[in-house]
Amino acid sequence: MKKHPPPPPRDPHQNEFAIIWELSEYPFKLRAGDVFKFNDRLCRVVRVNECSAVVVMNLPVRDFKTRFDKPVRFQPSPRMFRISPQSDVPILNRRSRR
């Protein structure tokens, strides 16, 4: 991860602007590798940038019988979609900091 430059010197009489100079540790809520639930399905964040987070959701296995009563099962390819990197979803696999 890149190191942030040191913050500029602050005027002690202007404390209300101090928050502008402090850079956040990670600017987005979602991170690559996060897992969350969407429509009762588990979803994994693949990558995150400033405008979107790419998410992969596995689809359920499809079971059916053919015309000749032969059972067939197949796994459809995962669905990819994009959401905001600031989305307010409960993340299931991130550990809390101590």
How many CB atoms lie under 10 A from the CB of residue 41? 12
d(CA 11, CA 56): 47
- What contacts 95, CB < 8 A, 6 or more positions away? none
Question: What is the share, in percent, of the chain residues with pLDDT greater than 90?
Answer: 42
Dump pLDDT digits (tens) for 52-67. 999 999 998 999 999 9
pLDDT for 29 equals 85
pTM: 0.62
| CATH number, span 26-98 | 2.30.30
pLDDT for 48 equals 92
